[in-house]
Amino acid sequence: MTQQQIALQQLTSTLLSAFLPPTAEELRSVLRYHDWRYYVLSEPIITDTDYDFFFKALKTLEENNPALITPDSPTQRVAKGLTEDFHPVDHLVSMLSLENTYNIEEVATFENRVKELVMNGDVEYCIEPKFDGASIALVYENDLLIRAATRGDGTTGEEITNNAKAIASVPLSAPFSKYGIYKIELRGEVVIQKDVFEQKNKERVARGEKAFQNPRNTASGSLRMKDPKEVSQRGLQAIMYHISYAVDKAGQNLIGITLLHHFDNIKMIAECGFKSPIQEVSVCKTTEATEAFLAKWIELRYTFPIETDGMVIKVNSLKQQQQCGSTAHHPKWAVAYKFPAKQAHSKLLSVDFQVGRTGAITPVAKIEPVHLSGVTISSISLHNEDMIREKGIMLGDTLIVERAGEVIPYIVGVVPDLRNGSEQPLVFPSNCPSCESPLIRPNEEVVWRCENADCPAQLEERIIHFVSKDAMDIDGLGRQIVIDFIANGLLKNIEGIYALDFEKIRTLEGWGEKSIENLKNGIEQSKKRPLWRLLVALGVRHVGTGTAKDIAGHILSIHELSTKTVEDLIAIEGIGPKVANSIHDFFTNEANIHLLHDLEKLGLNTVNNPAENASASNKLNGQTFLFTGTLTQFGRDRAKQLVEENGGKLLSAVSANLNYLVAGESAGSKLTKAKAIPSINIITEDEFLALIA
């Protein structure tokens, strides 16, 4: 506690017990002190009754002798009457916006750029929460608050001095002269604490008024209310965190001269009686420290009493800030780090109705791109007609989109308040968008289907599924190539994959000897895949990788499945009635039996290799591998097989996603690259074999 605070505490006690009438100045300092304790520190030490006693005493004194009134008297906080309009005012220094970063790599890029701008000097960063409220700028001259303004367009804001005064945590006067400062512009944010916001909303609803939507909009709306008295009742707080302008009595700039560090500025702001982020701010000297501090806040923000949508990272030295300079839009010495957002608003632009390989029609929402949890989302599945109806989604609606962590993004709902009347009902088609066959919705299903076996869209999806990584895993035959081949008449069915006309492919744009050779190899290798992969590739409903492996362990040839009854199938561990019925239907269908015989004739493996299944394990479950250099104990194909049979995955290049690099003899650039990424384990062939032993 400072000397001054002790003195004010004593004065409080004296005034409460004294016989002598207090002076106006005594009352003002005591009231200011207790305002500060209550609104800035949230640590009141006197009762409301005692506070009211002082306030009334001052008011009476001033009423009897108006000459005693000073502009910064606590009685002058809430102006009487209505504000007619908010005049435009120019900020002393433009309020630039901050560039956003969304991950530590982008923060590191920013830090590297700063390092170049300051000629490789040592740089400290001051990191503070990015409060989610309404920006304001306060100007003090000769220790008195003379002006408050909204951010506006950054150059010109609206003058809201009377409303800012009505916010109890904004000091009407502050002792900047102690620091040699005559005129100063402070930046900050007007916010409403989360619990206060909820409380205010409860009160509103109880009074039959409409609840506010969120603290930020409420804060910015409150700043522009005509009646300062109402502003004073909104539970607003002003948190001041930045000095943009400071001069002495002679008009000489002090930034970078006597004011040297952003952290010290925040400290001074706090000492002058403002609410500031002094408790939250941290000075970080390395990217690692920055990363750790940001990570801490990703969690902390949920329990922090004020809404934050990220952190602000600023160069601490004001001299270095000046060296960095600014673009027309952003300072180059600061950047915002946005927390991985879980929810965002986005407009529904259109809906695509996609035909899946089983004929199921899936509505897919095309939305205005939004950034969530580190990825940009522009389309989201709407799943089915029922979901559209339940959520009442219309074209042009504002949607609430959510994506938490690695989860697939989904639509939480719409914001009906943001409709403007131009929204259109979403009509589900009655015919297949690909082949125009009438769509059918089987009883008790939520999905509409195209039941045309020759539907081109279904064929496309069936082939894409057949060649995909989890199924036959054909290298060189990606989604777009399948689509092109179908469009060029090169592929008409699944069997066609094994009878491609390479002479014709050679004439297509983008196809050279090398890519044709790759494709031929990929197709050739797929003929030797284990049986479970063929089971997955056929696209039997409800049969995924796990089920396919369960089944493959119980049969010697795929043709056996045509002879099994539903009961036989249920007897297999892991197979339920739904799956059993689906398998039975598929393998007793004439067309499918025909397809299997054709594939067999084309050289595809349709039998089980017991040794393969015996060695299969999950020892490498989900781990990724890459082989480099000359392997001496097994070939590349065998290596790939070993990884996959044991549940691992093969990557084609060194990246942060790689878990193991198996380095053979005279390994080259891949090894060098892998050594630079600490998370990659570099192992020998023997060590690899030990992993699966």
Separation CA 659–CA 347 (nearest Å): 39
Which 8-state DSSP code applies to residue 558?
Answer: G
Q: Are 692 and 646 in contact (CB under 8 A)?
A: yes
- Tell me how far, at minimum, the Cβ of 436 lies from Zn ion, in Å: 7
- Pick the closer one to Zn ion by CB: 57 or 459: 459
Minimal distance, residue 220 CB to Zn ion, in Å: 50
Judged by CB under 5 A, the chain residues 452 through 511 that form the site for Zn ion are 452, 455
Q: Give least dist CB 439 to Zn ion, A.
A: 8
Binding mask 534-573 for Zn ion (x = CB under 5 A): ----------------------------------------
Which range touches Zn ion (CB under 5 A), out of 65-73, 287-295, 434-442, 566-574? 434-442
User: What's the min distance (Å) between Cβ of 430 and Zn ion?
Assistant: 12
Which residue of 46, 450, 471, 486 would you call a contact of Zn ion, by CB under 5 A? Answer: 450
Question: Closest CB to Zn ion among 455 and 643?
Answer: 455
The token pair at 297 is 């806040």
Half-sphere exposure of 420 (CA within 13 A, CB side): 4
CB 331 within 8 A of CB 337: no
Q: How many CB atoms lie within 10 A of CB 457?
A: 21
Q: Does 316 bind Zn ion (CB under 5 A)?
A: no
Whole-angstrom Cα distance, residue 474 to residue 478? 8
Whichever of 172 and 494 has its CB closer to Zn ion, that residue is 494
Q: Are 520 and 537 in contact (CB under 8 A)?
A: no
Q: Tokens for 195?
A: 């619990």
Question: Where do runs of H (alpha helix) occur along 253-364?
Answer: 262-271, 287-300, 318-324
Quick one: 73 or 434, whose CB is closer to Zn ion?
A: 434
CB of 433 to Zn ion, least distance (A): 8
Give least dist CB 431 to Zn ion, A: 8
Of residues 232 and 434, the one with the C-beta less far from Zn ion: 434
Based on the shown chain and the rule CB under 5 A, indicate whether residue 439 belongs to the binding site for Zn ion: no
Report how many residues bind Zn ion under the rule CB under 5 A. 7
- Interatomic CA distance for residues 616 and 693, integer angstroms: 11
Decide whether 451 or 560 has the Cβ nearer to Zn ion: 451
On whether the CB atoms of residues 169 and 274 are closer than 8 A, the answer is yes
Among candidate residues 130, 183, 275, 549, the one labeled active-site is: 130
Token pair belonging to 341: 């957002």
Q: How far is the CB of 359 from Zn ion (least distance, A)?
A: 7
- 429 vs 478, which CB is nearer to Zn ion? 429
Report the distance separating Cα 541 and Cα 589, nearest Å. 14
What are the residues whose beta carbons fall under 8 Å from the beta carbon of 565, sequence distance 6 or more?
A: 584
Contact stretch for Zn ion (CB under 5 A) within 25-33, 168-176, 444-452, 474-482: 444-452
Interface with Zn ion, residue 434, by CB under 5 A: yes
44: its two tokens = 């009141």
Cβ proximity to Zn ion, 152 vs 359, nearer residue: 359
130 is catalytic: yes
CA 340 to CA 361: how far, in whole Å?
A: 32
Rounded distance between C-alpha atoms, residue 12 and residue 53, angstroms? 11
Closest separation in Å from C-beta 551 to Zn ion:
29
d(CA 130, CA 307): 9
Q: How far is CA 374 from each of CA 399, 404, 487, rounded to the nearest angstrom?
A: 19, 10, 35
Q: Where does this chain touch Zn ion (CB under 5 A) — which range of 89-97, 409-417, 428-436, 537-545?
A: 428-436
317 closest CA partner among 514, 542, 121, 34:
121
Residue choice 164, 219, 411, 432 for contact with Zn ion (CB under 5 A) = 432
Of 133-141, 189-197, 229-237, 449-457, the window that binds Zn ion (rule: CB under 5 A) is 449-457
Q: DSSP 3-state helix, strand, coil percentages of the chain (rounded to 5)?
A: 40, 20, 40
Rounded CA-CA distance 288/111 in Å is 12
* Residues composing the chain: 693
Residue 597 region, left (φ>0) first, then alpha (ψ -120 to 50), else beta?
alpha
Show which residues are catalytic: 130
* Contact footprint for Zn ion (CB under 5 A): 432, 434-435, 437, 450, 452, 455
